Structure formats: structure tokens, C-alpha cells
Amino acid sequence: MKTRHIFGPVPSRRLGRSLGVDLVPYKTCTHDCIYCQLGRTTNLTVECKEWFPLDDIIGELKDKLATRPDWITMSGSGEPTLYSRLGELIARIRSITDVPVAVLTNGSLLWQDDVQSELMDAHLVIPSLDAGDQAMFSAVNRPHPSISFDLMVDGLEAFRKRYRGHFWLEVFILGGHTALRAEAAKIAACAARIRPARIQLNTVTRPPAEDYAAPVNRGRLEEFAGLFTPRAEVIADFREVHAAPEFSATRETVLDLLRRRPCTLEDIAGGLGIHRNEAVKYVEDLLGRGLIVRVDLKGKTCFRAGSKG
Ligand code: SF4
């Protein structure tokens, strides 16, 4: 089967209609976050290489530019800074389109000068910071053994000083972990050192890798938002964008499939010929509307239509 590197455009909370670029094989990452919507990391690595030929990615992207996305976003099945030719890829994209380029990264490799250099031409970089000390970092992000909390935060600070594009920070707050004022305050202190232009608080809205990765309600996130400088934004519910006709049509197709039989995310993606990250968005929306439910079948997480669906 041909590997698909480009997905969408899919509605993104922050970036409108975002065309996703997937640069590494599924769950190839420097972290194994307990909240990861893609499941557990199967290739925990810090090896940077050209995981897929750059020309293949560009070729696929050219075909998709007619969809007129708002952003081209490096994200996907793992950590995009593990792609060794990321800087060249961004430069090639900028030579063929005016659509701005964003990179969503876990920030774990930004202490490396060469990784920083690869990101210099991106219009927007959004790293994550989900913990305020080593113990919480280990518990929530379960990083590769070579990555320490201090190294990562120093890297974020160094990159911020050097990078001239837009720099925001995403903070994922988890019930039972960082949803305590003292823990959120520690993250806020680190964020103050890094000095992002915007800080965005997020929480679990999609099925996480571990059941114990618990969501936090909006009111609690709003309380924590005031601890940050600048005040953090709580990433809003995205229902309105999900009401767009192109999104709701495919969502209905996913629901039809789940009315017929329970499916895993891979079944949905494979059955409809869409990227797994796209399937995640439809599942999130259908779960939020109470139209489908999550079930465990033979140890696999599946989804099926619920009584309202
Ligand atoms: S949430 Fe992002 S950084 Fe964490 S394991 Fe998943 S892909 Fe990696």
C-alpha cells in the first residue's frame, strides 16, 4: 500500500483548515505520552533520519494544494523534528506555495543546534510543555532515556531566543497529574523563562494512550490560565468548525461504518482511505456528540455506534 504523507485539510483548533504532513512512521517519537491520541509509542527513538523520501512528500503535497488550506502543518504520526531534512522540506514548500508552514513539536530535541536550524524557516512553531519538573515529565511524557527535563526546557529557551517566527506554547493539563495548582504553577514558571507569544491550555478530548490520563473541565483550565504570563488561552471546543459541510459529510460516513460493525482507528482509516489522524478527528467529534462509544474487543480499542447513533 502506498504510504500517505499528507492528510486533510482537517479542521484544527488553532489553525483553521490545516493540511497535515506526516514525516515519520506511525508512533515514531521521542516521547510516549500517556495522553497521546495515537496510542502508545512503538518506536521510542532520538534517531533523526529521512524516514520517507523528501521528493515523495513534496509530490504528494503538490497534489493537495488545490484544496486551499489555511496552513500546512508538520505533525502527524510522531515527532516531526526526527525528520533529518525538515529544513529543506520547509524551504521547498515555501518555494511552491504562499500557504504558511507550522510545526507542532514536543520540543524534546530543540537543545540541539542543528534541530533548531531546521526550523528557522517555519512561520510558526508550537512546542509542548506538559510538566514543571523531572518527576512529572517522566510520568506524563515518558521520554526517551537520553532526554532530561532540564535539557528540554533549556532547549526551548535557547530556541526561543534564536527563532524569529511566531512561537506559541501548548500545555496539556491532566487530571491526577498536573491539574493541581502547585503543578500548574511550576509549568507556568518554566513557561515564563521560555517567553512564548501565546500559551494554550489543552486537555484530553480524544481517547488517550492510557485510561488513567484524565481530562480536566473547562472551568479548572480557566483557573490555571491566570497563572501564566501572558495569560493562557483555553483551546476552545471546535464544534462550529466541525459543522462545516465537508467535515460533517465524512463524519456521517464514519458513523455509517460504525453502525455496521465496531472498528479500530486503523479500520476506519483503512476502510475510508483516510489518514489515521483524520480518523481521530471524526471519532473525537462523534464521541463528543454521544453518537458512538468506545469498547474494548480482544484487548483492542474499538468504536461502535451508541444508542443515540
Ligand atoms: S502526544 Fe505527541 S509527543 Fe506525545 S507520544 Fe504522541 S506523538 Fe509523541
pLDDT in tens, 191-225: 999 999 999 999 988 778 998 999 998 899 999 99
Residue 1: pLDDT over 50: no
Q: Which three cell numbers stand for residue 18?
A: 490545516
Provide the sign of the torsion angle of the four alpha carbons 140, 143, 148, 154, taken in this order: negative
CA–centroid distance, residue 141 to ligand 1 (Å)? 8
CA–centroid distance, residue 22 to ligand 1 (Å)? 13
Residue with the three cell numbers 493540511: 19
38 lines ligand 1 (CB under 6 A): yes
pTM here is 0.85
Residue with the three cell numbers 523563562: 193
Residue 184: pLDDT over 80: yes
Neighbours of 67 (CB within 10 A): 12
Distance CA 189, CA 209 (A): 28
Alpha-carbon distance values, 126 to 30, 177, 202, 291 (Å): 16, 22, 13, 32
Nearest-CA neighbor of 146 among 222, 78, 45? 45
251 lines ligand 1 (CB under 6 A): no
What backbone phi and psi angles, to 5 degrees, belong to 145? Answer: -55, -20
Across the chain, which distance is largest between two alpha carbons, in Å? 53
CA–centroid distance, residue 143 to ligand 1 (Å)? 10
Choose the residue to mutate in 37, 38, 280 for probing ligand 1, maximizing ligand atoms within 8 Å of C-beta. Answer: 38
CA–centroid distance, residue 130 to ligand 1 (Å)? 11
pLDDT in tens, 19-71: 999 999 989 999 999 999 888 999 999 999 999 999 999 999 999 999 899 99
Which ligand 1 atom is the nearest neighbour of the CA of 41? 5
Distance CA 299, CA 60 (A): 35
pLDDT-derived band of residue 288, with 50, 70 and 90 as boundaries?
A: confident
262 lines ligand 1 (CB under 6 A): no
Which ligand 1 atom is the nearest neighbour of the CA of 29? 8
CA–centroid distance, residue 129 to ligand 1 (Å)? 12
CA–centroid distance, residue 15 to ligand 1 (Å)? 19
- Pick the range with the lowest mean pLDDT from 6-15, 161-170, 226-235, 279-288: 6-15
Q: If you compute the radius of gyration of the chain from its CA atoms, what whole number of angstroms results?
A: 19
Nearest protein Cα to ligand 1, atom 4:
33
Q: Which three cell numbers stand for residue 133?
A: 519538573
Q: Would you state the pLDDT for residue 246?
A: 66
41 lines ligand 1 (CB under 6 A): yes
